[in-house]
Amino acid sequence: MDQIIAHLRQSIADEVFSKEERKTLRTLLTDRALREDQLTSLRTKIFELASEKVNDSNFRFIIEWVKNVNSALVASTADKSDAFFSPGDACRDTIIKQINGAITRIKICVFTISDDRISHAIMTSHRKGLDIKVITDNDKSFDMGSDVGRLAQAGIAVKMDSTPNHMHHKFMVVDDRALITGSYNWTQSAARYNHENILLTKEGRLVDSYLKEFDQLWKEMQWYN
């Protein structure tokens, strides 16, 4: 991390972001294989460096620098995929980590939500001003222990199906670039007892497919009430 930050400082200092500097940054990011918490920290550092350097005369350069650096950051993680399994905390922790690391928007499409830790992460991101949309099953949303009503009351946009059938999806897309999907139900029992799985991927075509499905369902579903 220190080497990456030092390179960022150097690249912004002279207000020239050369092709060689961009290449070196991509190499550093790819070689380090940063964890999600490190990526979050690095995003914060990028904006700190930009804020320290920006003035009226270099504003356009700083905007381009932030754009190019973030593009390199996204490219370095674009092809990473991993699988996680329960019982245990791996699935839940991965879901929460992605929610906490979101920058702009989260699209959630899950059968049920009753794990308070996940719900807390969703509401915290909502309070930060992120655009959050939730699609869930109408029958499960009224189960004892369901957090769906609490999310809606907090001002989060929630829709559900209005048919005798189930909306049985379990997936989430973060910032239009990271997808979580699998059998894992967002419940405490799934973490404690069930044999479940999730896949985390940033493969563009898969993410786009799930975004298309979410947007179509959002048009069809009814508002929670």
Q: Quick one: 147 exposed, middle or buried, by C-beta within 10 A (0-12, 13-18, 19+)?
A: buried
pTM above 0.75, yes or no: no
Residue 162: pLDDT band (50, 70, 90) is confident
Cα angle for residues 78, 80, 83 (degrees, 5° grid): 140
Q: Kindly state the tokens that stand for 52.
A: 């320290």
Which residues belong to the active site? Answer: 168, 170, 175
Mean pLDDT on 77-95: 87
Within 13 A of 56's CA, how many CA atoms are on the CB side?
0
Residue 78: pLDDT band (50, 70, 90) is low
